[in-house]
Amino acid sequence: MVGNHAVSWGASLSRAEVISAYPITPQTQVVEQLSEMCADGRLNARFIKVESEHSAMAACIGASAAGARAFTATSSQGLALMHELLHWASLGRLPIVMADINRALAPGWNIWTDQNDTLAQRDTGWIQLYCETNQEVLDTTIQAFKLAEAVDLPVMLVLDAFYLSHTAEPVDIPDPEMVDVYLPRREPRYRLDVNEPRAFGALVRPDSYMEMRWHQQSAMDRARAEFEHIDREWENLFCRRYGAVESYRTEGADLLLVTSGTITSTARFVIDRRRARGEAVGLVKMKMFRPFPADTLRTLLSGVERVAVLDRNLSPGRSGIFAEEIRAALYDVDPEERPALYGYVVGLGGRDVTPGTIDDIIDRTRGAAAPTREDVWVGLNL
Amino acid sequence: MSQLMIADRVPREELMTSGHVACPGCAAPIAMRMVLKALGPKTIVVMPASCWSIIAGPWPQSSLKVPLYHAAFETGAATASGVRAALDMQGDTETTVLVWAGDGGTFDIGLQALSGAAERNENILYCCYDNEAYMNTGIQRSSATPWGAATSTTPAVQPQSTHKKDILAILAAHRIPYAATATVAHPVDLLEKVTKARAIRGTRFLHILAPCPPGWKFEDDETIELARMAVRAGVFPLVEVEHGEHWRFTAEGAREPVGPYLRKQGRFRHLGEEQVRQIQAEVDRRWNAMRRRVESSESDEDGSLAEGG
């Protein structure tokens, strides 16, 4: 099953009631398959085929506010077009789930993967979960609804263009009845209801606005523990779990890689090969980016000599975005325990990140006396 | 006598409270009050940014007794599509989903979403209360502002240089089941149109002229008079159109010259006689175009009757 179909199966098993989407490469198979599922009755949902991503998110907002389980999927330019409404969904405390197929931004036109589309939406108040495999994509889509509805915040699940979206992998489709047990019908605390009329989203003055934002922040804080809980519940039913942060062969390691998305799978291969040669290297995979799992990272990375962060993204004028956030998280670690952090920018616009690339990064990290002030770009041909 | 008859035909139930925060003489709350009376309590309002975002009251207040969702400026029709879909999934086909938008949210920034919803024939009622500029932000021009009007972005020395967008024709071109114009000066006509629209499935569009005392610069007890003059002068014909082709006047009568209507409003104070003549010519042109649509609909209907008979 390709990653895009894992998304649509996930949305279908979650019994999404309103789907609204606009096609964009590489997301199209998601909406094509969901259209078919709605058309042939396999999924009892209304599919609103809107005229833009902006309207797709607006329709999800309306549907979610009226109490429905709402879903959409997009990518890159489409996500950027939604920006205003991503804030609206989160501050409106609407548990919408969206899949974003990570794709680089134009110009020049580029349909291949990098993470700048989703990371540019970092501050919109969406939970962000990055996936490594198509099984994880399917499972995370269902988990996302449970998490969203538990904390009244929207969730974005993220998968790499083509490396997941268009690549077939064996995927176990969970039993629908068990999924219904895991994820019952949505029970909104408030909704647009003619029997209980309320106004939503009215003018909020300075004497109340900050409190509203505080509630959003505390919901984000709750989402860390809530994800842990729903992930364990998933494991109890389906014998798989992923964790907000996964540590892989970190025991005794003096050098750890930090990765997200499909680079993680390649990194596992490199770590295995080096471990076989007796080298003490390991890997930390970040699935959850918002809320930021700072405490977990501090625990996992403290006391390690060197940490290399691989960023398939860039904040121009600064650095890779994961590296920057991890640096900030490590600031209050005891300096004796604080690792040297090496940032690497790789794989932008879909450039392949091979085992060779990762070997190169490990060798550079070992060979450097200290981290450079700027992140190192790997694989650059100037 | 006629007053009694009107009162008789207006539902008693009030779904809008007193104590709203509109300017004195504002037509927008009058329009809302009348529309909600015709729609009844099984109505959900989707409200993109407009003067009404303020009139509805700040959190935690509401001047409406029906559910209200404040929506982003350009999303009225799209947000309403989502609300409709959710209600359908809940088996509620009775509740009307009403978009309540200004001219900016309809003619300009919301037009794409509105066109999308109309093309999909979403089962919503979209009301545009048109005060012919961005009044909430301080009277900046919109594409609903008439030629020659002074606004805060088209000052009197260089007033609005284009004619008002023909939004009704644009909606009619989507062949939606029902579109109509109305004003607050013609309450029975307005109520009848809303009642008719409520019973129709699909996208229904109502364009309500809403004179604005501070924006148009007239006395705040002249709102109804201004709306009446706009209709009589042919500036704002009262019409309805079904499926984009059956056009009908709902109020007719002798056409009056446009001059007195313009002269009552400070936004046209700078206009000379020649410019008033130009406006008259444009009003006549549009009136004649409308009359041709109506006549063509009538002859089509005669034709089809003849064929059927």
User: Residue A314: CB partners within 8 Å, gap ≥ 6?
Assistant: A116, A320, A321, A345, A348
pLDDT at position B251 is 87
pLDDT at position B302 is 73
CA distance B279 to chain A (A): 36
| In a shared domain, residues A233 and A327 | no
The percent of residues in chain B predicted with pLDDT above 70, rounded, is 95
| In a shared domain, residues A86 and A140 | yes
A85 contact B CB<8A: yes
Distance CA A211, CA A220 (A): 14
Whether B70 and A202 lie within 8 Å, measured CB to CB: yes
Among chain B residues, the shortest Cα distance to A51 is held by: B116
A53 contact B CB<8A: no
| In a shared domain, residues A347 and A205 | no
**pLDDT digit string, tens, across residues A223-244:** 999 999 999 999 999 999 999 9
pLDDT at position A212 is 97
Residue B180's H or E segment, with its range, is: strand B178-183
| In a shared domain, residues A249 and A356 | yes
SS3 A156: strand
Region of residue B251 (left: phi > 0; alpha: psi -120 to 50; beta: else): beta
List residues bridging with A97 in a β-sheet: A71, A155
DSSP string computed for A40-80? TTSS--EEEE-SSHHHHHHHHHHHHHTT--EEEEE-HHHHH
pLDDT at position B301 is 75
| In a shared domain, residues A7 and A147 | yes
CA distance B65 to chain A (A): 6
CATH number at residue A348: 3.40.50.920
Does residue A348 form part of some domain? yes
**pLDDT digit string, tens, across residues A295-343:** 999 999 999 999 999 999 999 999 999 999 999 999 999 999 999 999 9
| In a shared domain, residues A169 and A268 | no
Average pLDDT over residues B36-57: 97
Distance CA A17, CA A70 (A): 6
Tell me: cis bond preceding A108? Omega within 30 of 0 counts.
yes
Residues of chain B neighbouring A204 (CB-CB closer than 8 A): 58-59
pLDDT at position B307 is 52
pLDDT class for B1, splitting at 50, 70, 90?
very low
Domain end residue (candidates: A238, A253, A276): A238
| In a shared domain, residues A205 and A329 | no
**pLDDT digit string, tens, across residues A248-305:** 999 999 999 999 999 999 999 999 999 999 999 999 999 999 999 999 999 999 999 9
Does residue A373 form part of some domain? yes
Whether A51 and B71 lie within 8 Å, measured CB to CB: no
Does residue A382 form part of some domain? no
Average pLDDT over residues A194-208: 97
| In a shared domain, residues A218 and A284 | no
The number of distinct structural domains making up chain A is: 2
| In a shared domain, residues A174 and A250 | no
CATH number at residue B152: 3.40.50.970
CA distance B63 to chain A (A): 9
Domain end residue (candidates: A174, A203, A238): A238
Please give the residue range of the domain that contains residue B206: 2-308
pLDDT at position B9 is 79
Asked if A183 contacts A140 with a C-beta cutoff of 8 angstroms, the reply is no
Alpha helices in A155-293 (DSSP H): 176-182, 206-238, 263-276
Residues of chain B neighbouring A45 (CB-CB closer than 8 A): 89
Whether A17 and B86 lie within 8 Å, measured CB to CB: yes
The number of distinct structural domains making up chain B is: 1
Whether A59 and B68 lie within 8 Å, measured CB to CB: no
**pLDDT digit string, tens, across residues B166-194:** 999 999 999 999 999 999 999 999 999 99
Q: Which position has the higher pLDDT, A202 or B252?
A: A202
ipTM over 0.90: yes
Please give the residue range of the domain that contains residue A311: 245-377
Domain end residue (candidates: A196, A220, A238): A238
| In a shared domain, residues A206 and A344 | no
| In a shared domain, residues A29 and A151 | yes
**pLDDT(B303) > 80:** no
CATH number at residue A99: 3.40.50.970
